[in-house]
């Protein structure tokens, strides 16, 4: 999941080699070769099961404790998974609790499902303050958890996640855990939130760099909910692209070193980005996962514009993510470009920005 494409379209800046884009939230590293190899002899064209190919769901099941293929629905990316989950559990105008800063689609997803977004602010370390969470979650239908987070780059403490898990279970509140960055964590292993009202949302977009192929999934041990989602998807989309699913299955067969290598690259870029920004005097959370930094910037909207028009640097205004006076930088671009981008940022900060 990525891009505020509702933001200025020209920010995509295709075909201009002098542009440095910290905008896009998509890996530049290629998918596993296995995903493309399979295409050379690909010939299928008929409908697949709405729930997703059995082979793909079985392969995914082996990655989750006590899971079976029945616990999964393959979706058009994590976006469709979130849309279907929210619509399936929808209670008219029911409250859905979102962390702030949030992934920019969440409020829309909640509204589109006929519910009402409500928010709690992450603390000064970009973490969930459980005392705040505990108070505000009362009366909610569902909460969305996003760890590692887009756009903050923070990873929630396991202790906090366990407390959220237990509290929501007690309250009967659904937990929609968006774990699309679960394989890009620098500080620990991913912690899988579990429970009968937990739905894990995941994707092949980040781990396997398959953004445009739109293969994601919802996982839940709540079979009744999974059936509801499948029934809805039967009418709203039918099966997820069968060729995408075959590519996803092939990606899973890639050697584990594919993921390990990518994480090393992300880690090195994270250091480059974080240290570079600190040297510029910016205040930001050190990313523990995903590939974003969200430094503070006064007049962020103006800064985003100036950076684009004068310095040809694409960034996203934090306001799109519920984080005014911050700017999101994705570091999904190679080290040379990151360095050039930081150089331009330094120039900008020394000139225009100083006068804001």
Provide the binding-site residues for a copy of itself, judged by CB under 8 A.
1-3, 5-6, 24, 26, 30-31, 35-36, 39-40, 42-50, 76-77, 79-80, 83, 87, 105, 108-109, 112, 114, 209-214, 231-232, 234-244, 247
Diameter of the chain measured on Cα atoms: 61
Q: For a copy of itself, which is the closer residue by CB, 88 or 156?
A: 88
Q: Which of 108, 94, 83, 271 is closest to 178 using CA atoms?
A: 83
Q: For a copy of itself, which is the closer residue by CB, 89 or 242?
A: 242
Q: For a copy of itself, which is the closer residue by CB, 30 or 260?
A: 30
In the complex, minimum distance from the CB of residue 71 to a copy of itself, in angstroms, rounded to a whole number:
17
- Contacts of residue 285, defined as CB under 8 A and 6 or more positions apart, other chains included, come to 125, 126, 152, 153, 154, 293, 294
In the complex, minimum distance from the CB of residue 289 to a copy of itself, in angstroms, rounded to a whole number:
21
200 forms beta bridges with 177, 219
111-114: long-range contacts at Cβ-Cβ below 8 A with a sequence spacing of 24 or more?
A: 112/83, 112/86, 112/87, 113/83, 113/86, 113/87, 114/87, 114/90
In the complex, minimum distance from the CB of residue 294 to a copy of itself, in angstroms, rounded to a whole number:
20
In the complex, minimum distance from the CB of residue 237 to a copy of itself, in angstroms, rounded to a whole number:
5
User: Residue written as tokens 């590293």?
Assistant: 29
In the complex, minimum distance from the CB of residue 52 to a copy of itself, in angstroms, rounded to a whole number:
12
Count the helix, strand and coil residues of the chain and give each as a percent rounded to the nearest 5.
Answer: 40, 15, 45
Give the pairing type, strands 292-293 and 327-330.
antiparallel
- Cβ proximity of 211 and 26 under 8 Å: yes
Q: For a copy of itself, which is the closer residue by CB, 24 or 202?
A: 24
In the complex, minimum distance from the CB of residue 110 to a copy of itself, in angstroms, rounded to a whole number:
10
Q: For a copy of itself, which is the closer residue by CB, 155 or 251?
A: 251
Q: For a copy of itself, which is the closer residue by CB, 105 or 262?
A: 105
């Amino acid at each position: 999941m990525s891009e505020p494409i509702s933001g200025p379209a020209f920010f995509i800046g295709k075909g201009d080699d002098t542009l440095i884009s910290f905008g896009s939230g998509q890996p530049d590293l290629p998918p596993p070769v296995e995903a493309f190899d399979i295409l050379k002899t690909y010939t299928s064209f008929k409908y697949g099961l709405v729930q997703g190919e059995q082979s793909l769901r079985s392969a995914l099941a082996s990655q989750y404790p006590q899971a079976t293929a029945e616990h999964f629905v393959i979706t058009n990316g994590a976006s469709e998974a979130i849309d279907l989950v929210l619509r399936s559990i929808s209670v008219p105008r029911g409250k859905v609790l979102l962390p702030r800063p949030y992934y920019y689609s969440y409020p829309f997803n909640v509204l589109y499902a006929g519910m009402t977004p409500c928010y709690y602010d992450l603390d000064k370390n970009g973490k969930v303050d459980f005392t705040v969470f505990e108070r505000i979650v009362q009366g909610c239908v569902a909460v969305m958890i996003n760890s590692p987070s887009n756009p903050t780059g923070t990873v929630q403490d396991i202790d906090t996640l366990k407390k959220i898990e237990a509290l929501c279970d007690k309250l009967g509140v659904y937990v929609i855990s968006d774990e699309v960055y679960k394989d890009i964590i620098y500080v620990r292993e991913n912690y899988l939130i579990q429970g009968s009202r937990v739905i894990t949302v995941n994707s092949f977009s980040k781990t396997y760099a398959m953004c445009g192929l739109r293969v994601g999934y919802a996982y839940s041990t709540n079979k009744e909910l999974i059936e509801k989602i499948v029934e809805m998807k039967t009418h709203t989309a039918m099966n997820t692209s069968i060729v995408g699913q075959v590519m996803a299955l092939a990606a899973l067969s890639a050697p584990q070193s594919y993921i390990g290598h990518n994480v090393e690259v992300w880690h090195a870029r994270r250091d480059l980005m974080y240290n570079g920004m600190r040297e510029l005097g910016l205040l930001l959370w050190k990313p523990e996962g995903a590939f974003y930094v969200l430094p503070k910037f006064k007049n962020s909207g103006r800064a985003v514009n100036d950076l684009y028009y004068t310095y040809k640097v694409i960034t996203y205004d934090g306001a799109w993510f519920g984080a005014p006076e911050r700017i999101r930088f994705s570091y999904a671009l190679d080290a040379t470009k990151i360095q050039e981008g930081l150089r331009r940022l330094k120039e900008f900060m020394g000139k225009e920005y100083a006068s804001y």
